[in-house]
Amino acid sequence: METTICKNFKTKLIFGKYSIKFLISRSTFSEVYLGINVLNGKNYALKIGQNENENTILKNETYTLLNLKGPGIPSVVSFGISGKYNILVENLLGKSIHDIWFEKNKKFNLKDTFFCYSSYISFRICSFKKLSSPRY
């Protein structure tokens, strides 16, 4: 099913170099597409959301991602506005838990469960340390 966002960008290049391949996921505030940089052939995640006012969620997310660095946190490649949409271009992180779940026939063993849990805890600790450290 095509969305309004996809229809608007299907025939155009985003920022003159990114082309949409397909929808990865959808949330209340944005849609995430797999995109390809037509200049170098690399795949990226293109997060596209409506630009309703100046203080948008994608703008805040970009700021947060630029301040948080570490394993499991995507790096920002580009952010900008195209028409009435904010667009965040990020590096892909690899397979999602959803993809791995289906690869394993919807069954996680104990090792997989602990890996997911430890990754989540590491991310939360890293995020807390970054956000609670004093800024001078």
Please check whether residues 4 and 47 belong to one and the same domain: yes
Please check whether residues 46 and 78 belong to one and the same domain: yes
Please check whether residues 69 and 4 belong to one and the same domain: yes
Please check whether residues 24 and 50 belong to one and the same domain: yes
Please check whether residues 58 and 105 belong to one and the same domain: no
CATH of residue 30: 3.30.200.20
- pTM of the model as a whole: 0.68
Please check whether residues 88 and 129 belong to one and the same domain: no
Please check whether residues 23 and 50 belong to one and the same domain: yes
The closest of 80, 47, 46, 76 to 63, measured between CA atoms, is 76
Q: What is the Cα–Cα distance from 38 to 40, expressed in whole angstroms?
A: 6
Radius of gyration of the chain (CA): 17
- For the chain, give the percent of residues with pLDDT over 70: 74
Domain ranges, residue 71: 1-92
What pLDDT score was predicted for residue 100?
77
Please check whether residues 63 and 41 belong to one and the same domain: yes
Q: Are 8 and 24 in contact (CB under 8 A)?
A: no
Task: Tell me the mean pLDDT in the region 16-39.
Answer: 89
For residue 10, the 8-state DSSP code is S
Please check whether residues 31 and 50 belong to one and the same domain: yes
101, 120, 88, 84 alpha-carbon torsion, rounded to 10°: 80
Please check whether residues 15 and 75 belong to one and the same domain: yes
Please check whether residues 105 and 127 belong to one and the same domain: yes
What's the mean per-residue pLDDT of the chain? 79
